[in-house]
Structures are given as structure tokens and as C-alpha cells.
Amino acid sequence: MTILVSGGAGFIGGNFVLDWLDQFDETVINLDKLTYAGNLGTLKELSGDHRHVFVHGDIGDRELVTDLLATYRPRAVINFAAESHVDRSIHGPGEFIQTNVVGAFNLLEAVRGYWVGLPGDEKQAFRFLHVSTDEVYGTLSKDDAPFTELNRYEPNSPYSASKAASDHLVRAWHHTYGLPVLTTNCSNNYGPYHFPEKLIPLVILNALAGKSLPIYGDGQQVRDWLYVRDHCSAIRRVLQSGKVGETYNVGGWNEKPNLDVVHTICSILDELRPKADGSRYKEQIAFVKDRPGHDRRYAIDARKLERELGWKPEETFETGIRKTIEWYLANQDWVGNVTSGAYREWVGKQYEVQA
Ligand code: NAD
Ligand code: DAU
């Protein structure tokens, strides 16, 4: 049996592929464009594993995807591929429309062409799982209940608008053409192999490098954190048992203001890697200009997934963040690989604009 994963060299897709091949003896076709966020170093331990077939390519290349589907005949396609960083979408939304909307459309069309031609049993069993975000629901104020699957879509950033558009395409391909789709909408992930433009890995690596720890605005924006391997287990569960055409929220009930997250990272680093001069990492915190249109609070109600499919996360924020910091301390090779020229150039541009 075979599955096709797109975006499997990124943060969540990479963790998913590693987890999958650790647990199942099933081939994974991994289609990834290797943008700045794609990193084959994440998949290093799979070199020589015949069950992992890496294909360098774009989900928007309908001909390529059609060929891959005809050649490998997967029983499922899981779409992780996307431009994923909100700040980048503010500076340059074009790539987000191209991959997250046009690319998703081309992927859906290639998959539909493949699916209609499958024989009865295979057609019945086939699934297209689209990995999406809680940001499509917009922002919450302090007293609002967490997002359920029934919340209206109210995306606020170019990133979340592009993801919302792709969710709608997926929904329409089911409603109109009968394509057997599943969609997951997950809260903020963290864990190993996270590209250090995102808050948690950026703070860990900046702290260790003696650089400032940039906090947007007042730092009281709330995110709902989930350890990446728990997101992967939720996707596996939805793929296995989710009801076709349904959407499932994924989250770990771990709401935290950004400033608290940064303080937690600083105190774990104080313990694991105390500074030689006796100063504390939190002294590196610097408040910087806020993100334009910054959503104030996200919170996920994951009860549908828990109740209907019996999923539960394994990590609390406290256990997951410690594991994550330990991973970054132990994996300097991977870190060195991502802190390339291109990455430094981006960070320079981002914080110059905000200063
Ligand atoms: P990421 O940016 O780390 O990885 C994206 C991967 O997709 C990279 O390997 C990149 O090379 C690849 N890619 C980009 N454009 C492509 C294209 N046109 N064709 C093929 N491959 C392409 O992203 P991530 O954080 O791993 O997120 C994965 C998915 O999960 C995204 O769809 C994102 O919207 C969603 N999501 C992320 C989070 C989070 O907290 N990171 C939370 C919820 C949902
Ligand atoms: O909610 C799910 C989403 O989480 C995913 O769909 C996105 O792909 C993913 O990037 C993430 O989006 P966020 O914008 O929430 O993540 P980010 O790590 O960029 O920021 C987390 C919070 O920290 C946010 O409120 C902005 C703030 N922040 C971020 C950076 C990079 C800072 O205060 N300083 C920073 O330098």
C-alpha cells in the first residue's frame, strides 16, 4: 500500500513522514517543492529506506501529480504543502495565492482525475486529507468560547485567507464531484524540525546566540499550542476513521500568551544551558512593532475529534516545550543547516521593516 504526502520536507509534513514510516510498513511518496521551508536534512534518517520516495516538484504541476498518481496508485493523498508563515504573507502574498490556492486547485484536479478512474473498491477506500489551520476562523476576544467546527470563516491575514480559500475548494470538490475529502484545522504546532522564523524556534535559537528575543506589540496575544507529533497522530486518526466530507479541529487545550511562552523557554534554558556570565535569558527580550492585523487570540475546541474518533494528545505544553528545547540543543547539525544565508537575509528584512 502507498500514500502520497505533499509538503513532506517541511516541519509538520516531515514529522508526519518520519512517524508514519516508524509505525507502518507502507510506502510514502513525498512530493515537495523544497522552498526555503523544505529541508531534506529533516528526512536524513530515511536515506536508503526504499519505502520513502522523494519527488522534487510542485503541487501546482498537474501533469507531474497525474503521473505520480498513475505510477504509484496511492490509497490516500495528504496535503501539507503550503506557504505557512503569516509575516511572509504580509510582505509578499503572491506565493501564498499561488501555492495555497492555485496549487491546491491543481492538486485537487489531478486527484479527482485519478480517483474517478479507480476501480470500485479502491475508489470507495480512497481519501484526500487536507491539512489546514485554526487561523481560518479569525480572531477571538478574551471571553469568547474556543473555535468549534461550526464557527464562521473570518480569515484576517493573506496567509489565513489563502488557507480558507483552499478549505473551500476542498469542500466544493466533495460537494460537487463527490471526492472523498477530510479537512483538519489545527492550532499552533511546535516541536523538532521547526523552521526558526516561527516564534518558538526563533526564541530558542536567538537566546542561545545571545540575540534579542522579539515580542510583537504587548506580547499578550494568545496562541493554543500543540506538540507536532500529537498533530501527526490526529491526522492519522482522521485519515483512518474520519467521516468523509467532515472537518475536524485539532488542538491540545494549551492557550498561552506569547510573553509567557517566551518566559518559559528562557527559564528552561537558564536551567539546561546557564549563561557563563550569570545573566538570565529573559534579559534578551525586546518588544518590537506589532504585526499588522495581528490576531489577538486563537483557541481550539477539539471535542469533536476526541468524542467521535477517540483522539487525545500525549504531551502537555510543559512536557512538549522541554522536549523541544532539548531537541534543539542536541541537533546542532540540523540547526546549522537551516541557518543559511537565505534565512539570515529574511530575518534581516523582517526586523528592519519593524524597527
Ligand atoms: P512549512 O512551511 O514548514 O512546510 C511547508 C512545506 O511545503 C515545505 O517543505 C515546502 O517546501 C513545501 N511546499 C511549499 N510550496 C509547495 C508547493 N507548491 N508544492 C510542493 N511543496 C511545497 O509548513 P508547516 O508548518 O509544516 O505546515 C504544513 C501545513 O500545516 C500547512 O498547510 C499549514 O498551513 C498547516 N498548519 C500549520 C500549523 C503550524 O503551526 N505550523 C498549524 C496548523 C496548520
Ligand atoms: O494557528 C496555526 C498557525 O500557527 C499556522 O497556521 C501557521 O502556519 C503558523 O505559522 C502559526 O501562525 P502564527 O502566526 O500564530 O505563528 P508564529 O510563530 O509566526 O507567531 C506566534 C505568535 O508569536 C504570534 O502571535 C506572533 C508572535 N511573534 C512571532 C514572531 C515570529 C512574536 O511576538 N515575535 C516573533 O518574532
| 342 vs 296 pLDDT, higher one | 296
Atom of ligand 2 nearest to the CA of 135: 1
Asked if 251 contacts 304 with a C-beta cutoff of 8 angstroms, the reply is no
- CB of 221 closer than 6 A to ligand 2? yes
Question: Is pLDDT above 50 for 204?
Answer: yes
Residue 349 lies in a domain: no
Q: Which of 138, 11, 148 is nearest to 82 (CA)?
A: 11
Residue 332 lies in a domain: no
The pLDDT of residue 200 is: 98
Report yes or no on whether pTM surpasses 0.85: yes
Total structural domains within the chain? 1
- CB of 133 closer than 6 A to ligand 2? yes
Residue 234 lies in a domain: yes
The pLDDT of residue 344 is: 42
The pLDDT of residue 340 is: 65
Question: Is pLDDT above 60 for 342?
Answer: no
Q: Residue 54: how many CB atoms within 10 A of its CB?
A: 18
| Mutate which of 4, 12, 85 for ligand 1 pocket (most atoms within 8 A of beta carbon) | 12
The pLDDT of residue 343 is: 40
Q: How confident is the model at residue 9 (pLDDT cuts 50, 70, 90)?
A: very high
Atom of ligand 2 nearest to the CA of 86: 14
> How many residues comprise the chain?
355
Residue 166 lies in a domain: yes
The pLDDT of residue 58 is: 98
Residue 17 lies in a domain: yes
- Cα–Cα distance between 127 and 182 in angstroms, integer? 7
The pLDDT of residue 348 is: 62
Question: Is pLDDT above 70 for 158?
Answer: yes
The pLDDT of residue 345 is: 59
- Cα–Cα distance between 168 and 105 in angstroms, integer? 10
Q: How confident is the model at residue 350 (pLDDT cuts 50, 70, 90)?
A: low
The pLDDT of residue 153 is: 98
When the pLDDT of each residue in the chain is averaged and rounded to a whole number, the result is 95
Question: Is pLDDT above 90 for 54?
Answer: yes
pLDDT digits (tens, 9 = 90+) for 125-150: 999 999 999 999 999 999 999 999 99
Residue 9 lies in a domain: yes
Q: Which residues are catalytic?
A: 134-135, 159
Asked if 298 contacts 139 with a C-beta cutoff of 8 angstroms, the reply is yes
Residue 59 lies in a domain: yes
Question: Is pLDDT above 70 for 185?
Answer: yes
Q: How confident is the model at residue 346 (pLDDT cuts 50, 70, 90)?
A: low
Residue 284 lies in a domain: no
Question: Is pLDDT above 80 for 55?
Answer: yes
- CB of 215 closer than 6 A to ligand 2? yes
Question: In the predicted model, what is the mean pLDDT of residues 198-224?
Answer: 98
Question: Is pLDDT above 50 for 355?
Answer: no
| Helices (H) then strands (E): counts for the chain | 14, 12
Contacts for 82 with CB less than 8 Å, ≥ 6 apart:
7, 99, 100, 131, 162, 163, 166
- Residue whose Cα lies nearest atom 25 of ligand 2: it is 221
Question: Is pLDDT above 70 for 232?
Answer: yes
CATH number at residue 135: 3.40.50.720
pLDDT digits (tens, 9 = 90+) for 255-307: 999 999 999 999 999 999 999 999 999 999 999 999 999 999 999 999 999 99
Q: Percent of the chain scored above 90 by pLDDT?
A: 94
Structural domain for 95, as ranges: 2-188+227-252+296-313
Asked if 328 contacts 335 with a C-beta cutoff of 8 angstroms, the reply is yes
The pLDDT of residue 339 is: 82
